[in-house]
Amino acid sequence: MISLTPAAAEQVRVSAREGKSEGLPLRVAVTRLPDGSFHYAMGFDDNEHEGDRHFQSEGIDIVVAPPSLELLDGTVIDYVELDGNMEIIFINPNDPARKQE
């Protein structure tokens, strides 16, 4: 399961309004790079693909394709201040970078 913090959900709503994507689900994906690190992606997507899993968190519809499901299991998406800038972060217990912390 993937979840959003209230702050992340509000930022997703703002982004949807600004991008005229209100009502579209948020697609979240992760790719394991050759060095083992994770690369995350997200965006609004109204295309349905075979095997997509649907979640809802904080009123946001989230879609994940099968290749990302296991890698994203337990992930929390947050919106936090880092070095003076607000950023979306992925708190993922499966991410090798997190396990080194």
DSSP string, 66-99: HHHHHHHTT-EEEEEEETTEEEEEEE-TT-HHHH
Give me the number of domains the chain comprises.
1
CATH at 59: 2.60.300.12
pTM beyond 0.85: yes
Given this model, what pLDDT does residue 59 score? 96
Mean pLDDT of all residues in 28-50: 94
Phi-psi region at 20: left, alpha or beta (left = phi > 0; alpha = psi -120 to 50): left
CA geometry: angle 43, 89, 8, nearest 5 deg: 65
pLDDT > 70 fraction of the chain, expressed in percent and rounded: 97
Three-class SS of residue 58?
coil
Domain coverage including residue 60: 3-99
